[in-house]
Structures are given as structure tokens and as C-alpha cells.
Amino acid sequence: MKTYLIEESPFSHFFTADTRSAWLWLILRVYLGYLWFEAGWEKFNNPAWVGSNAGQALTGFVNGALTKTAGAHPDVQGWYASFLETAVLPHVATWSYLVTFGEMLVGIALIVGFLVGISALFGVFMNLNFMLAGAVSVNPIWATLGIGLILAWKVAGYWGADRYVLPLLHRSIRPRVSS
């Protein structure tokens, strides 16, 4: 059986593996990180998200999502509505804290460039859940930027903590060859 090598395009290589594009990813990464942190910080300072009335805002959000389940092509699919009713609403205060601190942690990690691909993945996962709950808003834009950071994980954190963290992880995870 003959093996064929499919080469990466120079365009793709430049944006996902060449450190000369790291400045572009730095700008996008810090911008998206700031947006995530700001969203979490607003919630952190709101007692309806964190504090005395934790879960109140999320309850309103979830109940709003549950009203979007009717019709032939609903904004919120039945399976996701079921998840919201059975997993989120009964533990809404816990989820409220998770959303708030999750947003802040994704923001901080992106700003400092720590495990950018994984941090962006968590951000995209939150965006996906917000969209599944029928909230479009900025979520498609943030998710698109996050997917770009995931694809460019090798260089997206080059001007950040990943410049030092990734080589350390590589050395500690790489199998040792005994002589």
C-alpha cells in the first residue's frame, strides 16, 4: 500500500505554527481574555450571580431558555431543555458560581497565555452552552475567536506563559528512553 504525504499549506502553517504570527494571536488572545474576564467580573459583583441571591439571575436565564422550546424549529432543543430542567435548575446556585468563576478563569488564562488551547476550549464550551440555551449575542463571535486560538495553540501563547509552560510539559510528559 502506497503512503501519500499531504503537506500543510504555507498559509495554514504561518497562522498555526509559525511564531511570526504570535503577535496576531497575542492581540486576539488578550482581547478575548479581557472580554471573558469582564463578563465574569460583572457577575462576581452581582449578588444575583454570586453572594446572597446566587442563582437568581441564572434561574431567569434558564426559565427564559425554557420558553424557547416550542415550534417546529425551536431555539432551544428538547434534549438541552431537559438538561436545564434536571441538572441546572435544581443546583442553580452552584452553576451560577461555576459560570462566574469559569468566565473569570478563562479570561485570566487567556490574558496571561496559560494553556491557551485548553483555556480557549473551555471558553468555546461555555459559548456553545449559551447558544444551546438560545442566547446568541456575542457567543458566535467569541466562539469563532476561541476556535482560532484552539487551532493556533502552538503559537497563540508564545508571547505568554505557554512559552515556558509548554516546553516544561513536553519534557515531563515525553516518554523517557532508557539507554
> pLDDT tens, 60-117?
999 999 999 998 999 999 999 999 999 999 999 999 999 999 999 999 999 999 999 9
Distance CA 128, CA 134 (A): 10
Give per-residue pLDDT as tens, 40-71.
Answer: 999 999 999 999 999 999 999 999 999 999 98
| Spatial contact of 66 and 4, defined as CB atoms under 8 Å apart | no
* Residue type for position 30: V
The overall pTM is greater than 0.85: yes
Rounded CA gap, 34 and 138, in Å? 14
User: Which residues, at least 6 apart from 142, have a Cβ–Cβ distance to it below 8 Å?
Assistant: 32, 35, 36, 123, 124, 127
Question: For residue 104, how many other CB atoms are within 10 A of its CB?
Answer: 18
Return the C-alpha cell found at 3: 503512503
Please say whether the beta carbons of 77 and 47 come within 8 A.
no
